[in-house]
Structure 1
Amino acid sequence: MPFLLVVVLILLGALASSMILNATMADTAFRMHEAQIRLNILNDHIDTVRSQVQDVSAADSLAQRATALGMVPAGAPGVVDLTTGTVSGGTAATQG
């Protein structure tokens, strides 16, 4: 009789362990799925921000914003003679 009780207890223990392990695996899979969804959302946000940065940093966009701020293109560069302290060549920036 005690042998039969031990066998039954071992089988019940194995069944309970299997059920707990199965529940734990299901919970882990659910949490991994939720984390994957959050990761996909964050990756979409990153792509959106990268696109916005590329649009704003494009040359034509920068030129339009600089003009709106009152900036003008630089003139031709000159050469500074360090011995005399004079500038030769070059032109100043002018309102276009």
Structure 2
Amino acid sequence: MSYLEGTIKKMLPKTYIRKHVAHEIYVAISHFKDMVPKMDKYIYNDGTAKDLMSLTGTIPALFADNTYNIPICLWIEESYPETAPICYVRPTR
């Protein structure tokens, strides 16, 4: 386990499968260097809030021979990997 992966594992509450989730996040940020992991408050559609791990940043997308950096946010629920991450595109000007 790398230092960064260990740091991510320490960020995660014990309600997560910490070793697995930390490794998955480490792999993602190794491929997408602009992604930043952090614990943040997620507001569900019914108004309830919960602290979840998020990955925020941009991912490159090739379209018509041009690369566009798409701003996204992935929310990883405590039940991951049983449930898929919640994904949003965060439009910018």
Give the structure-1-normalised TM-score. 0.21
Structure number with the higher strand fraction is 2
Mark the structure with the bigger radius of gyration. 1
Point out the structure with the larger helix share: 1
Asked which structure has the greater RCO (Cα within 8 Å, sep 6+), the reply is: 2
